[in-house]
Amino acid sequence: MKSIHDEEQLKKDLKDQKIPAFRYSQIENAIYKNFITDFEEIQTIPKELRKFLKQNYFYSSLTVDCIKTSSNWQTTKILFKTKTWEFIESVIMRHLTWRNTLCVSSQAGCPMACTFCATWKLGLLKNLEAHEIVEQIMFAAKMLQEEWKKLRNIVYMGMWEPFLNYENVKKSIKIACDQKKLNIANRRVTVSSCWIVPWINKFTKDFPQTSLAISLHAPNDEIRKSIMPVDHTYNLEKLMNSLDEYVKVTNKRIFYEYIMINWVNDNIKLAYELWELLKWKLAHVNFIPYNPWEGAWWIKYKPTPRFIIEKFQKILDEYWVVSTIRATMWDDIDAACWQLANKKKD
């Protein structure tokens, strides 16, 4: 069986079956515009073609294992099971501004071993296929449609590192942004990376309109190495050179994620180092309070007090570096940043 989201394969099969090319457009419209999940319900195509699709293609390979919604109803976390029995998670965020966002996974588990993240303890189980990423997006889009809402933004910030699964992520972005499919604007798709430098360079060429977020979390290599092993391979100098090239080509602002961990990376002097690193650059810093996760007692990390985060922000403001303190709204269902670890029950 093949995925219905494999456009190239489906067009080839239709051609081999001597089925007119326009039938693909009808199938495409039914799936991506009308969110029809049962091929038998696509009434715009002949019965024989519906039968052919049912015998040869599947709509989704993922099954829903668990769905949790936060107490304020703004956030829903979906735990999916793959055909090969890995578990992955997606998070739907319904903002009060009607801006609905999906945080999507590109890997089952993660190999990056960042000490503040729950996902790393799973290790890398597998890279997701392009259709498995798209299926998460389709599920969220259909759920929101049933609520009379529309999926507006996609962030590749679930189980990841997206750039270690680049080709499949690339295919999924193209499907999401295709005008004849989900028609999500490229600028409303954000790919987050620990900074795998060679792939940032490739991403710059392939997706100049798509947004880039970098997991920074410290303004110097010494602290980064203590919490993010990737810094041993790609240090700050290599990263910033690559990002300067990205901005030169795209003229787009880069989002820098900075998790605030008490007594680890929140010394006020680091705010000045952060300013020094980002001054005169197209940058937007997102300060994210550390979100404790189950099983992390031995790490002994604690969230930075709000007043210290505000001091960081004030220092950046004084030097014209834009920043935001991100609100934590979803930790009651373990859906906040770096809490995704396939937890099924409370």
Distance CA 147, CA 31 (A): 18
Q: What is the largest CA-CA distance in the chain?
A: 69
DSSP assignment, residue 305?
A: P
Q: How far apart are the first and last CA of the chain?
A: 36
Residue written as token pair 């994620």 = 257
Active site residue 194: no
Distance CA 255, CA 247 (A): 12
Distance CA 68, CA 344 (A): 9
Given the residues 110, 117, 177, 337, select the one marked as catalytic: 337
Distance CA 9, CA 7 (A): 6
With contact defined as beta carbons under 8 Å apart, do 163 and 199 qualify?
A: yes
Given the residues 7, 86, 89, 132, select the one marked as catalytic: 89
Distance CA 201, CA 277 (A): 20
With contact defined as beta carbons under 8 Å apart, do 95 and 74 qualify?
A: yes
Distance CA 226, CA 247 (A): 28
Phi then psi for residue 225, to 5 deg, are -60, -30
Q: Is the dihedral of CA 248, 249, 253, 257 positive or negative?
A: negative
Beta partners for residue 68, in sequence order: 77
- Answer left, alpha or beta for residue 4, where phi above 0 means left and psi between -120 and 50 means alpha: alpha
Candidates 204, 214, 212; CA nearest to 248 is 204
Q: In what order do the strands lie in the sheet with 254-260?
A: 63-69, 75-81, 87-94, 100-103, 151-156, 189-193, 211-215, 254-260, 283-289, 322-325
Active site residue 66: no
Active site residues: 89, 337
